[in-house]
Amino acid sequence: MDIAIIGAGNVGRALAGSFVRAGHSVTIASRDPEDAGSVAAATGARIGASNAAAASAAEVVVLAIPFASAPEVAAEIAEAVAGKVVIDATNRMSFGPAGPDMDTATSNAEELVGLLPAAHIVKAFNTLFASNQGDPISDGVQLDGYVAGDDPAAKASVLALVASIGLNPVDVGPLSRARQLEGLAFLNITLNIVNGGSWQSGWKLVGAPAPVATAA
């Protein structure tokens, strides 16, 4: 698969490494070309000349940016991603007087549909810390890679991508389930903040039923 990753931080680096190891062709772009260069050198990905250039050359685009940057990035790549799969790996959190909080009325993924109406938005990878995006095994357990989306073909291709890096792919339903996926990530993040965790915890649903369409 030809994949562009936008954002060369913790998530961009971890996913670039996993995708390259799985045999995918990866281009990474970021605001600072030096960051993209450093990830490319460490992982075997190529450097994208710009967000738009990376997205133009890819079949699938992964957003590994803070969601606050989404409007700016969406404006740059909107034309390039028309009809393509865009994976939203972002999370949603704010900090108020009572500590970390989250607006659950909608989700980043659903807001992204408004920013990139011609793309097929799929939520994936957000429930995994970067450590487990790079290594899907935690405490000897293969972690789940939850995928939510409204376009069946786009979701199928992302489930295959998730499986290709060693995660257990789980189809959790339509894109609106991104609200719960962003909630799962919030819970894991706050548990690590409150308890001084080592950011290695991950989600595994035991006994998950197979989706109706693929059940034996």
Ligand X SMILES: NC(=O)c1ccc[n+]([C@@H]2O[C@H](COP(=O)([O-])OP(=O)(O)OC[C@H]3O[C@@H](n4cnc5c(N)ncnc54)[C@H](OP(=O)(O)O)[C@@H]3O)[C@@H](O)[C@H]2O)c1
Tell me which residues touch ligand X (CB under 6 A): 6-12, 30-32, 35, 51, 64-67, 69, 72-73, 89-91, 126, 129-130
Contact between 47 and 26 (Cβ < 8 Å): no
Q: Burial-class residue 23 by CB neighbours within 10 Å (0-12, 13-18, 19+).
A: exposed
- Minimum gap (Å) between residue 125 Cβ and ligand X: 6
Query: Nearest residue by C-beta to ligand X?
Result: 9
Assess contact for 56 and 34: CB atoms under 8 A. no
CB of 152 to ligand X, least distance (A): 24
Q: In DSSP terms, which residues pair with 169 in a beta bridge? A: 145
Smallest separation (angstroms) from ligand X to the CB of 133: 7
Query: At its nearest, how many Å lie between ligand X and the CB of residue 189?
Result: 8
Between 126 and 157, CB nearer to ligand X = 126
Distances (CA, A) of 38 to 41, 42, 182, 191: 5, 6, 29, 31
Query: Nearer Cβ to ligand X, position 141 or 153?
Result: 141
If the CB atoms of residues 204 and 210 are measured against ligand X, the closer one turns out to be 204
* Measured distance CA(90)–CA(101) in Å, rounded: 15
Nearest to 188 by CA among 88, 63, 93: 93
β-bridge partners, 99 = 96
Q: Report H helices in the chain.
A: 10-21, 33-43, 51-56, 70-77, 108-115, 130-134, 152-164, 178-195
Q: Which is nearer to ligand X, 32 or 139 (CB)?
A: 32
For residue 107, the 8-state DSSP code is -
CB of 64 to ligand X, least distance (A): 5
Nearest distance, CB of residue 11 and ligand X, angstroms: 3
Please identify, using beta-carbon distances, which residue of 27 and 90 lies nearer to ligand X.
90
Tokens of 150: 């409204």
Distance separating alpha carbons of residues 175 and 64, to the nearest angstrom: 18
Is the CB of 157 or the CB of 188 nearer to ligand X? Answer: 188
